[in-house]
Amino acid sequence: MKFFSFLLVFLVGLNASFATTVIKLSVDQLAHESDLIVRGVVTAKESAWNEKRTRIYTHTTLDVSQLIKSKFPQQSKVVIRQIGGEVDGLVQHVSGNAEFNRGEEVLVFLEKHPTANVMVVMGMAQGKFSIDRSQQPPRVQQKQTHLKTIKHPTQPQIVDLRRRTINASSSPTLTQFLHQINAAIGAGSD
């Protein structure tokens, strides 16, 4: 019986260890706090070691088709950096990172890294939305793999979003989503 209890605790702990916990951000919060919001297509994804060979970074390149908000000069390409990736068969994985695929159309909320001259996704996977053009009108979907969010640090109600994808029929259309973002940006400029 003790072995079974130990095994159960171990397996539950193991499952929890593959998730990252962050504060839940609404679309309005993402829009207000982002330095850059763009829609575009993923054209490249490359992983490399840092200079000290202690960490792998993945750089994802987007061809920008729509600039929604920017604190920077207009750009036709944006490079996003995330910790983790694969180099020479060695993998560093960060649970909760946004997942990008070449050819994927996305809408991303980005912020400038506080110490490096790179862009990062706001709120990890919370700041990345895929655009599904297989439906008419096109819809915005969000996949949050291995990410747990809490409503607020002082209110520890946890919402488990591991392997959660918003149901396509309940997700907003691209037009609705853009209106929501623009309304949030406009409300923040008062």
CATH number of the domain that residue 35 is part of: 2.40.50.120
Question: Could you read off the pLDDT of 93-122 as tens digits, one per residue?
Answer: 888 899 999 999 999 999 998 887 889 999
> Is residue 9, in this structure, part of any structural domain at all?
no
* Mean pLDDT (the chain, rounded): 81
Residue 74 CB burial class (10 angstroms; 0-12, 13-18, ≥19): exposed
pTM, 2 dp: 0.79
Q: Tokens at residue 87, please? A: 């180099």
* Cα distance between residue 180 and residue 185, in whole Å: 9
| The pLDDT value given to residue 74 | 83
> Is residue 2, in this structure, part of any structural domain at all?
no
**H helix count then E strand count, the chain:** 3, 14
Cβ atoms within 10 Å of 131's Cβ, excluding its own: 19
| Mean pLDDT, rounded, for 161-174 | 61
| The pLDDT value given to residue 110 | 97
Between residues 70 and 143, the one the model is more confident about:
70
| Mean pLDDT, rounded, for 19-43 | 90
| Mean pLDDT, rounded, for 113-133 | 91
Percentage of the chain exceeding pLDDT 70: 74
> Is residue 44, in this structure, part of any structural domain at all?
yes
Is residue 149 very low, low, confident or very high in pLDDT (cuts 50, 70, 90)? low
> Is residue 93, in this structure, part of any structural domain at all?
yes
Percentage of the chain exceeding pLDDT 90: 58
Of 23, 34, 120, the C-alpha closest to 80 is 120
> Is residue 171, in this structure, part of any structural domain at all?
yes
Question: Could you read off the pLDDT of 37-85 as tens digits, one per residue?
Answer: 999 999 999 999 999 999 999 999 999 999 999 998 888 999 999 999 9
| The pLDDT value given to residue 40 | 98
Tally of domains within the chain: 1
User: Integer distance in angstroms from the first to the last C-alpha of the chain?
Assistant: 62
* Cα distance between residue 71 and residue 110, in whole Å: 11
Between residues 81 and 150, the one the model is more confident about:
81
Would you say 118 and 48 are in contact if contact means Cβ atoms under 8 Å apart?
no
Between residues 37 and 158, the one the model is more confident about:
37
> Is residue 5, in this structure, part of any structural domain at all?
no
- The domain in which residue 74 lies consists of 20-188
* 175 pLDDT above the threshold of 90: yes
Vertex 171 angle, CA 166 and 176, to 5°: 150
> Is residue 8, in this structure, part of any structural domain at all?
no
Q: Tokens at residue 186, please? A: 């406009």
> Is residue 6, in this structure, part of any structural domain at all?
no
Between residues 184 and 154, the one the model is more confident about:
184
Cβ atoms within 10 Å of 126's Cβ, excluding its own: 24
